[in-house]
Amino acid sequence: MPLKGSQMQNSEHPNPNQWWFHRRVMAYASLGGLFSILIALFTDSVATDTVPLAQTLAWVFSANLLYYYGGNAVEAVKNK
């Protein structure tokens, strides 16, 4: 029987492998985004007006990476 509503919040994810796969894909996409921004900034292909946008995107992608790798660190410590 599948869990619903508040029952789901107090338990583990029904399919942890799927959950970690989606988090891993999000982290890889964030790395790709950060590298794209970095390359664009170093090659001067970013217009001066769009630098704040590039900075904001870099923060967002970095937060995604912290979310993924922070979760990995918590899982590693929790299992010891």
For the cut 90, the answer to whether the pLDDT of residue 39 exceeds it is yes
| Tokens linked to 36 | 């794209």
For the cut 80, the answer to whether the pLDDT of residue 49 exceeds it is yes
Q: For all residues of the chain together, what is the average pLDDT?
A: 79
* Side-chain half-sphere exposure of 9, counting CA atoms within 13 A: 2
pTM of the model: 0.64
Q: How far apart are CA 35 and CA 32, in angstroms?
A: 5
